[in-house]
A and B are shown apart, each in its own frame.
Chain A
Amino acid sequence: MSILVTNGRVIDPSQGLDDNLDILIERTKIKELFPRGKGPKADRTIDAKGCIVIPGLVDMHTHLREPGFEYKETIATGTMAAVRGGFTTVCCMPNTNPVNDTVAVTEFIIEKATKEGSCTVLPIGAVTKGSKSEELTELDMLQKSGCVAFSDDGLPVSNSLIMRRALEYSKIFGIPVISHCEDPALAHGGSMNEGFISTTVGLKGIPNAAEDIMVARDIMLSELTGGQLHIAHVSTEGAVRLIREAKTRGINVTAETCPHYFSITDDSIKGYNTNFKVNPPIRTSGDMSAIKEGLKDGTLDVIATDHAPHHLDDKDREFDTAAFGISGLETAFALGLLLVDQKVLSLKQLIRKMTVTPSKILNINKGTLTPESDADIAIINLKKKYTVDSSNFLSKGKNSPFDKWELKGTIEKTISMGKVFDWS
């Protein structure tokens, strides 16, 4: 089955392309690129007039919740939400139930994804057994069975010695340890950013220091060991500063941030709306500026979603006990486009941070339109406006603080391994 995508503006940062090109897809692969109109006849033609045609987005931080929390999301619904948001590759974090700390769980996830998923699912294996920060998992077996990175995300690796060992040992495989940076004692009991707002709403806060301390620790351990470190969901000004400084000294560290950290600040918590409750928490405008600066100067390499769907029962309650997390796959790219409007990033830089850069960090052959790579494509109308309606999300998780936001940039079609999803 061949598909020709024609009439679109093809932007592929991995090849330095920004041109009017046709793309020929054969079965699950990209066959060849042609100048516009010069592409051969195909079984199906997709007219991408008025749209950009880019590599399918790669999310290196998603929670698919299966196995164990299927009431919040399944691999089927989560990957559907992914393609709806223009993502064709998602890396799922291991804080499932059971935790993905064995080959059995990794294989389960991969098999489920093959049978029921709508896009490529690459599991991230736990660093420690049960994510308890006590014993290393069998990292070799995990990566051989398909894990592309290691993380205890949801939790920090609180034992510094174990984090050291993980960074050292992972050098065998050349894949990153992704760190959720949070000092448990400092953060304990907090449900939002510690600052003026938390003082006025009477909620216990999580200080920036809780994140910065672990970022500093992990950078030093990466320096000590030479291990490949990737900092997850950066939210603070201090973390950006530390990562920037570490990079100038050539330390093997990369970092990601998420759309909520560059789109909203903690004064939106005044109404106690639990859709704004997330870990790390949404911070101040000073932190938001630093995040944008970090994206602009390359300190923050990747925009990931940290898609964290929750059932209404876990959110529709008192703020203290509500679950942490934002359902982010279906709003990520459009929020990224706001950065382009604000001249924080160019369109190419935005696309780069969501395609080729995460792929390089994970050493996977995704995020590119190079011939022979997988037919993963997102066709996006940059100018079309729409209003976010979280009740209509394809994800089971409707927990979004962006509900009713007026955004631009609709995903018109997503092609995942040659399968076309038409959203128009």
Chain B
Amino acid sequence: MLETRNLLGIKELSPEEIYSILDTAAGFKDVLRRDIKKVPPLRGKTVANLFFEPSTRTRTSFELAAKRLSADVINFSAPTSSVLKGETLKDTVLTIQALGADIVVVRHSSAGVPHFLSRIQDMSVINAGDGANEHPTQALLDLFTIQSNKKKIKGLTVVIVGDIIHSRVARSNIYALTKLGAKVRIICPPTLMPVEIDKLGIEVHDSMEKGLKNADVVMMLRLQLERQSKGFFPSLEEYYNLYGLTSPRLKLAKNDAIVLHPGPMNRGVEIESEVADGPQSLILEQVTNGLAVRMAVLYLLSGVKK
């Protein structure tokens, strides 16, 4: 069971709470295999998707998860809303609360927005990505995918490659994996390494050749072109040459290593198509697991009394 009414980040979750979500997700994965993929726990409840940043994957996933649980869903997308007329974040969420929503799923380009929202209104808040801070449901579905395939998390060597400094996926995964006892390594150019990140108890590498050795899991991050300012690396070609996951490089990891990617992929930039479409890739399974995990989160949060 969850202690809190909100899912603000992995930082705020205990290992027990994480396992609780993963166990619940396993149950919902079964539901998703049935003919009639619908269960009633959230009937009569309203889930509001409050997305200030573009998203196809996460938003569709949350929308479908809510519907599978029989909730009503409202979708708010900033570019087609009164935000364009200058309405503040605060007023937007208070309006949604006034419309009777019970749970708000929020994605925003500013870190700390879910925390802010949890202070100014009473709906449950689920963080679907806040700036470079966290994307907890992504980490949870990554954990679920790893656990389904490797039967455990503890003791595994998990390598995260890419634009770490701007990545909320990297941060959430680092917190989640270290909380559950995995050995975490990151690989990226020094310009994309967050300051003092080694203090989180992880290994830091700037070389694929060194960092990939004997990895159990290779998690590739999308090179976030929209978050870049200039000067992090000279060109995409050079980035691919140094940090792209190619088939030869994948061979440096263990033979049964799995490849993950949160999507969407930049084929030929961070990952070679042969790897993305190859037998070790679980990229599409991640998407299916994402639905189950988000159903689990919605279900567990809605059960927590105010």
Which residues of A are at the interface with B, using a C-beta cutoff of 8 A?
A: 189, 194-196, 198-205, 207, 271-272, 313, 316-321
CA of A313 to CA of B91, assembled, Å: 11
Instruction: Please indicate the chain A residues that have their CB under 8 angstroms from the CB of B196 in the complex.
Output: 195-196, 199
Identify the 7 closest CB pairs spanning chains A and B, nearest first: A202-B133, A272-B112, A318-B110, A202-B132, A199-B194, A202-B111, A320-B110
CB distance from A284 to the nearest CB of B (A): 10
Contact string against A for B residues 2-35, beta-carbon threshold 8 Å, 1 for contact and 0 otherwise: 0000000001000000000000000000000000
CA of A196 to CA of B199, assembled, Å: 8
Q: Which residue of B lies closest to A202 (CB)?
A: B133
- Does any Cβ of A come within 8 Å of B222's Cβ? no
Known: A203-B112, A272-B111. A318 touches B89 (CB 8 A): yes
Known: A201-B133, A202-B130, A202-B134. A317 touches B89 (CB 8 A): yes
CA of A196 to CA of B200, assembled, Å: 9
Q: Which residue of A lies closest to B197 (CB)?
A: A199
Does B111 lie within 8 Å of A316, measured CB to CB?
no
Does B195 lie within 8 Å of A195, measured CB to CB?
yes
Q: Which residue of B lies closest to A272 (CB)?
A: B112
Does A319 lie within 8 Å of B195, measured CB to CB?
no
Does B195 lie within 8 Å of A205, measured CB to CB?
yes
Instruction: Please indicate the chain A residues that have their CB under 8 angstroms from the CB of B108 in the complex.
Output: 318
Known: A272-B116, A318-B110. A196 touches B195 (CB 8 A): yes
Instruction: Please indicate the chain A residues that have their CB under 8 angstroms from the CB of B112 in the complex.
Output: 201, 203, 272, 318-320
CB distance from A74 to the nearest CB of B (A): 24
Residues facing A in B81-129 (CB within 8 A) are 88-90, 108-113, 115-116, 120
Total contacting residues, chain B, CB less than 8 A: 27
CB distance from A286 to the nearest CB of B (A): 12
Most A C-beta atoms less than 10 A away, residue of B111, B115, B120, B130? B111
CA of A196 to CA of B197, assembled, Å: 7
Q: Which residue of B lies closest to A204 (CB)?
A: B132
CB distance from B52 to the nearest CB of A (A): 10
Most B C-beta atoms less than 10 A away, residue of A194, A207, A316? A316
CA of A189 to CA of B133, assembled, Å: 15
CA of A122 to CA of B120, assembled, Å: 40
CA of A316 to CA of B113, assembled, Å: 11
Does A200 lie within 8 Å of B11, measured CB to CB?
yes
- Does any Cβ of A come within 8 Å of B131's Cβ? yes
CB distance from B201 to the nearest CB of A (A): 12
CA of A200 to CA of B111, assembled, Å: 11
Does A317 lie within 8 Å of B88, measured CB to CB?
yes
Does A198 lie within 8 Å of B195, measured CB to CB?
yes
CA of A195 to CA of B195, assembled, Å: 6
CA of A196 to CA of B171, assembled, Å: 13
Which residues of B are at the interface with A, using a C-beta cutoff of 8 A?
A: 11, 88-90, 108-113, 115-116, 120, 130-134, 168, 171, 194-197, 199-200, 229
Instruction: Please indicate the chain B residues that have their CB under 8 angstroms from the CB of A313 in the complex.
Output: 88
CB distance from B12 to the nearest CB of A (A): 11
Does B113 lie within 8 Å of A194, measured CB to CB?
no
CA of A202 to CA of B169, assembled, Å: 11
Q: Which residue of B lies closest to A271 (CB)?
A: B115
Q: Which residue of B lies closest to A193 (CB)?
A: B195
Instruction: Please indicate the chain A residues that have their CB under 8 angstroms from the CB of B115 in the complex.
Output: 271-272
Instruction: Please indicate the chain A residues that have their CB under 8 angstroms from the CB of B132 in the complex.
Output: 202-204
Instruction: Please indicate the chain B residues that have their CB under 8 angstroms from the CB of A201 in the complex.
Output: 111-112, 133
Task: Give the contacting residue for B195; candidates A189, A194, A321; CB below 8 A.
Answer: A194
CA of A300 to CA of B113, assembled, Å: 37
Q: Which residue of A lies closest to B52 (CB)?
A: A318
Instruction: Please indicate the chain B residues that have their CB under 8 angstroms from the CB of A195 in the complex.
Output: 195-196
Known: A195-B195, A200-B11. A321 touches B171 (CB 8 A): no
Does A320 lie within 8 Å of B131, measured CB to CB?
yes
CA of A201 to CA of B131, assembled, Å: 10
Does A317 lie within 8 Å of B90, measured CB to CB?
yes
Most B C-beta atoms less than 10 A away, residue of A199, A202, A318? A202
Q: Which residue of B lies closest to A320 (CB)?
A: B110
Known: A196-B199, A199-B196, A272-B111. A317 touches B168 (CB 8 A): no
CA of A393 to CA of B87, assembled, Å: 29
Does A319 lie within 8 Å of B111, measured CB to CB?
yes
Instruction: Please indicate the chain A residues that have their CB under 8 angstroms from the CB of B199 in the complex.
Output: 196
CB distance from A324 to the nearest CB of B (A): 15
Q: Which residue of A lies closest to B112 (CB)?
A: A272
CA of A204 to CA of B89, assembled, Å: 20
CA of A189 to CA of B131, assembled, Å: 13
CB distance from B27 to the nearest CB of A (A): 31
Q: Which residue of A lies closest to B113 (CB)?
A: A318
